[in-house]
Each structure stands twice: as structure tokens, then as C-alpha cells.
Amino acid sequence: MKSNRLLRRVLFALIIVLLGLAVVIYPRYQHLFGEQSMQTVLHMSCEDLQQGCQFTVDGQQFQLKTKQAIGGAAPFELLFHGKANQVRANWSMQGMDMGPNEYRFVKKGDVSWTATMALPFCTAARKDWILNLSIDKVNVQITTVAQRN
């Protein structure tokens, strides 16, 4: 009787741990589970993110800018302004694999978001970057230029 009770407790604890791991891991790797891929709805250029840029998707206005020049390995803060439920970003380069570098924005008000990030290391010393910005289920690709190495 005691061994059955102990076995049930151990199994229950194992199930709780596995469910907890699934909750933590699934959002990070959901693209591997056949989730509907995001549709890129806008390609645009924003030469200097420190000056900022504005864009519209499905009638919604958005603004994006940094407080300081981007480049090198130094972290910078990317500010996003617009109505959304979730905002994420990653950096890529044309023809180069920059590895995983996803950043989640933190909501700082009704329509203000912020994320601290750094550009991935580029061995070719290129300065041309693509910011892949995911706003809910919409993907916006923004080409920009690093202002410093």
C-alpha cells in the first residue's frame, strides 16, 4: 500500500516537472512544431535606427528607434511604439547565418515596448543588417546599417 502511494507521488511529481518544462520550452521552439509561419507583409529600409522610422501595417501605425547608434558587440536599447500583443526581433544578414538571436520586447506602457539587444558577431565586418521584427503574427523586415564596428 505504501509503495503504491509512493509510486503515485513520484509519477505525479514527474508529470508536473514535464509539464513545467513543456511550458518553458515550447514558446522558444514552437517553430519546430509546425506552427503557422509568419507572413512577411512589409520590406523597408531604415538607414539610421537612431533617427528612427515609422511604418504602417494593416492600418496600424508603428515607430521604431534606438537611443544610441547600433554596432559592434555593445548592447543597445530598441524602442518600439505601437499597439501589439507580442513583439519579437532577430538580426540577420543577406546570405549569412547569424545563429539564434531572438529578443522579446517588454511592454512599458499601453503602446510602448523596449528590448535590450546586441548585433550578432560578424566575421566579415559587414555593416548591412536586416532586422526581422515580429508584431503578433506579422513579420516586418527592416534593412539598416550599423553606425559603428
Encode pLDDT of 82-101 as tens digits: 999 999 999 999 888 888 89
Helix or strand or coil: residue 62?
strand
The amino acid that residue 98 corresponds to is M
- My answer on whether 68 and 130 are in the same domain is yes
Residue 82, CB-side half-sphere exposure with 13 Å CA sphere:
23
CA distance 15 to 6: 14
pLDDT in tens, 132-148: 999 998 999 999 998 76
What is the average pLDDT score of the chain?
Answer: 84
- My answer on whether 62 and 96 are in the same domain is yes
pLDDT at residue 27 in the model:
61
- My answer on whether 29 and 46 are in the same domain is no
pLDDT at position 15 over 70: yes
For residue 85, give the CATH number of its domain.
2.60.40.1930
Residue 138, CB-side half-sphere exposure with 13 Å CA sphere:
16
pLDDT at position 47 over 80: yes
- My answer on whether 29 and 43 are in the same domain is no
pLDDT at residue 34 in the model:
46
Neighbours of 145 (CB within 10 A): 15
Q: With the CA atoms of 94, 99, 100 and 104 taken in that order, what torsion angle do they form, in degrees rounded to the nearest 10?
A: -40
Q: Would you mind telling me the total number of residues written for the chain in this entry? A: 149
- My answer on whether 133 and 119 are in the same domain is yes
For the chain, give the percent of residues with pLDDT over 90. Answer: 46
- My answer on whether 80 and 11 are in the same domain is no
pLDDT at position 32 over 60: no
Find cell 512577411 and name the residue: 40
C-alpha closest to that of 103 among 64, 61, 146, 52: 64
Query: What kind and span of H or E run contains 19?
Result: helix 2-29
Domain count, the chain: 2
For the chain, give the percent of residues with pLDDT over 70. Answer: 85
The boundaries of the domain holding residue 13 are: 2-33
